[in-house]
Amino acid sequence: MKARVHVTLKNGVLDPQGEAIRQALSTLGFEGVENVRQGKLLELDLAEGDPASAKERVEAMCEKLLANTVIENYSVEIS
């Protein structure tokens, strides 16, 4: 079973990497990009057989390690 975790900064949290990307796009001629929010994608291969149990375990991983829940949001997809 596979899990995908998308981690992004919460709204209102400054994103200096996103701003650097926005500026670089503008420099390269890609005008009209007003805001960029950068995040991360984690893919996990799980030995779990039950999708509901797998999602619960991955969410626990996010709460303890994979995401800083003070400043980041996360979403979990199981397939």
Report the distance separating Cα 59 and Cα 56, nearest Å: 5
Q: Where are the domains of the chain?
A: 2-78
Homologous superfamily of 2-78:
Phosphoribosylformylglycinamidine synthase subunit PurS (3.30.1280.10)
Q: What pLDDT is attached to residue 7?
A: 98
Q: What pLDDT is attached to residue 52?
A: 95
Helix (H) or strand (E) holding 24: helix 16-27
Confidence category of residue 48, pLDDT binned at 50, 70, 90: confident
Report the distance separating Cα 54 and Cα 60, nearest Å: 10
Query: Which structure tokens are listed for 38?
Result: 């950068």
Say if CB 74 and CB 3 are below 8 A apart: no
Report the distance separating Cα 38 and Cα 61, nearest Å: 21
Does the pTM exceed 0.75?
yes
> Per residue in 17-47, pLDDT tens?
999 999 999 999 999 999 999 999 999 999 9
